[in-house]
Structures are given as structure tokens and as C-alpha cells.
Structure 1
Amino acid sequence: MNKILPVLLLFFSFADLDVKQNQFIARQGQISFFSYTSVENIEAKNNQVLSILDIEKEEIAISMLMRAFVFKKDLMYEHFNESYIESDLYPKANFEGKIIDFDAKSKEQQTKIIRGQLTIHGITKELDIKASIANSNGNYILSGEFDISVKDFEIKIPPILASNIAKTISIQFLFQYQPYEE
């Protein structure tokens, strides 16, 4: 009996290590958005986006604080957080999804669809996102671009400002994952 216990402990420690080797984290992912109109372009960047990638389960989770977006003009930041996104009520945006047909062993860049749920402004929508995934020396780089409709997330724009903000917003993302370590 005394000989079995150390063997079991060793087995469980390797099992736990194997799970952690399948999980990767990006602590400073980047998300930016761009709104083009003939009146004024609006763009902002957020470099404080957290994401977890589980290559065995082919799952991804992303979370970001809305107030971490940086704008060129302070007034844009204020309007974005107070009037449109209402960051006091909805401080975070989240995405949870599954990478379709992902081959974690491939050393080649892969273009895959990530199917999941995006939550912004308290509204959750199903979304398919085309993403590029590269395995770089055991670390993963995930990037892509997609569009969302302001109307889909019930973001209200006063009629007087409707010409200043595009109805469709272009979103770009870049995550550089490293093995997850506690």
C-alpha cells in the first residue's frame, strides 16, 4: 500500500501538467476598432485584453475592460464610455468560442473559423470569426478582423450624431499566447 501512494501522486502530478501544457494565455492581447464616416473616423485600441486558449479542447475565451480603450481625443473616450457603451453598467466585453477543425500539431499557419458568443453592452450574439493561427516555437499567435453592427448590440446613437458614427464597426485582434503557468 505504501508503494502505491507515491506512484498515484506521481501519476496525478503528470496528468495535471499535461492539462496545463494544453492551455495558453495572452495577458496583453490587442483589440482595436475603426468606424469610418465621411464626417469623422473613430478608432481606439485596447492592449489589456486577456485571453485563454485551450488547444486540446479547441476553445478560446477573451475578456476585456471597455474603459481600457485608448482614443486620439479625450471627448471620444468620454462619449464611448458614458453615452454609447455605458461602461459603468457594462464594464466588460467577452467572447467564448470553439475553433473549428483546429490542428494544434501543425507548424503551418492555419486559417480557421472561431464560432462563439460575443457579449458587448449586455447583449450576446452568435458570431463566426475568420482567424489566422500560427504556431511559433510552441507559442500561438492568433489574429483576424471582423465587423459588428452597432444596432445588434443595442448601442443607441442620438440622431444628431448618427452621421458621425458608422453603423458597422470593424474590429481587429492580435493575441500572442504563451504556455499558461499559475
Structure 2
Amino acid sequence: MKQLLLLIALFLFPLANGVAQARFFTKTGHIWFYSDAPLEDIEAHNRKVVSVLDLSTGEMVFSVPMKEFQFRKSLMQTHFNENYVESDKYPKATFKGKIMNPDAVDVTRQAAYLVRVQGVLNIHGKDKAIDTVGTLEVKDGRIYGKSTFSVTPQEFDIHIPRLVRNNIARRIDITVDIIYSPLTGNSL
């Protein structure tokens, strides 16, 4: 995990940059998904999301360990990891993108800012372009990020057996709820 954080930091944020107040990170981000289905709703939460945000460039990156999604029923979790996302083969989902209007966020002023995010979401070894809106709220030296968007299993070549196809919604809502702290030299 530390190696991943170091690689992200070195790739996106050279130490010579000196704009520490523009760089933020989290190791405990929260992402969850929800599927409203006729027989049973499916919901899973993951609170071990790593993300880095550089407001000077708008660049952001997420790394999501798939096995960390927690379901209400352990059998759902087993099916999710073994049969659908194949977590042993594809252990992480990633998002690499940019905030298209980073200048709209003033880190010196406590307020909520509407942002547009574009990038590539990779799940199950497949890429999908994402274009969504969210909010970044500057509060007490941190940045609170929130966004919701939808995907389908088919977009990521996740096969749902015909027998249970009606148990899973065609679109799955993904919610991102992140609290970023300033990235400093000893943060990693």
C-alpha cells in the first residue's frame, strides 16, 4: 500500500512543486455502490480507498481494493469477489482523471464548490470514460469531496448469469464520499 501511495505521489506531484496547500490525499476514502433490484437491494461499502488530488492541475487518482467492499450478507460478498469482479484476477479498480474547473476551488475560503470531473474508470480490466459533477467543500483545512454516477456491469465485461440477472439492477449507482487532508512530505 505504501508503495502505491509513493508511486502516485511521485507520478503526479513532484516534491519540487512546493504547492503543498494544493495537494491533498486520503487512505480512508469511502465509496459505495447500490443496486435497486426487484428481489433484493444490493449495497456494499469500501472505506479503504486511496486518493490523491492536486488542485493546482486538477489531477486526481483513486485506487479501490475490490476485496474491501463490505456487504450486508457474506454470500453476496463471496459472489461479488469470486463470480462477478474476479477480485483475485482484478484486485483493484482505479480512476484517473481531472477536475475540469480546478480554479473554481479556493482552498483559502471555506465553501462548497461545484466541480466537473472527467477521467477513466477501470474495473475488471476494462476502461470507461466518466464525465460527472461533484462537490468539493473546503472546511477546517480539509477538502470534502462528493459525487454520484452510474455504470452497468456490461460496460466492464462483468457477466451476470441469466438465472440471477433480474436480481441485479441494470444500472448501479456509485457514490464517492472522500475527506482529503493536505499532502505533506511525511504524509505517506
- The answer to whether the superposition gives a TM-score over 0.5 is yes
**Aligned residue number for residue 77 of structure 2:** 77
| Contact 1:26–1:178 (8 Å) recurs in 2 | yes
User: What is the deviation of 1:40?
Assistant: 0.9
1:60 aligns with 2:63: no
1:173 aligns with 2:176: yes
**Aligned residue number for residue 160 of structure 2:** 157
Structure 2 SS opposite 1:61:
strand
**Aligned residue number for residue 34 of structure 2:** 34
> 2-side partners of 1:123 and 1:71: how far apart?
23
Listed as ranges, the matches of 1:77-156 within 5 Å are 77-102=77-102, 103-105=104-106, 107-156=110-159
User: What is the deviation of 1:17?
Assistant: 6.9
| Contact 1:56–1:104 (8 Å) recurs in 2 | no
Larger Rg: 1
> 1-side partners of 2:99 and 2:47: how far apart?
23
User: What one-letter code is carried by the residue in structure 2 that aligns with 1:120?
Assistant: I
RMSD: 1.4
User: What one-letter code is carried by the residue in structure 2 that aligns with 1:101?
Assistant: N
Structure 2 SS opposite 1:160:
helix
TM-score (norm: length of structure 1): 0.88
TM-score (norm: length of structure 2): 0.85
| Contact 2:111–2:139 (8 Å) recurs in 1 | no
Structure 1 spans left out of the alignment, 5+ residues: 1-14
> 2-side partners of 1:82 and 1:127: how far apart?
26
| Contact 2:29–2:178 (8 Å) recurs in 1 | yes
For each residue in 1:142-179, what CA deviation from the matched residue of structure 2 results, as whole angstroms up to 9, or x when unmatched? 00111001111110011001011111101111110111
Structure 2 SS opposite 1:152:
helix
Structure 2 SS opposite 1:78:
helix
> 2-side partners of 1:28 and 1:72: how far apart?
20
Bigger CA drift: 48-57 or 134-143?
Answer: 134-143
Structure 2 spans left out of the alignment, 5+ residues: 1-14
Structure 2 SS opposite 1:155:
coil
Aligned length: 168
**Aligned residue number for residue 10 of structure 2:** none
Structure 1 SS opposite 2:89:
coil
User: What one-letter code is carried by the residue in structure 2 that aligns with 1:156?
Assistant: H
| Contact 1:51–1:60 (8 Å) recurs in 2 | yes
Percent identity, please: 36
> 2-side partners of 1:137 and 1:70: how far apart?
30
Bigger CA drift: 115-124 or 135-144?
Answer: 135-144
Structure 2 SS opposite 1:109:
strand
User: What one-letter code is carried by the residue in structure 1 that aligns with 2:105?
Assistant: A
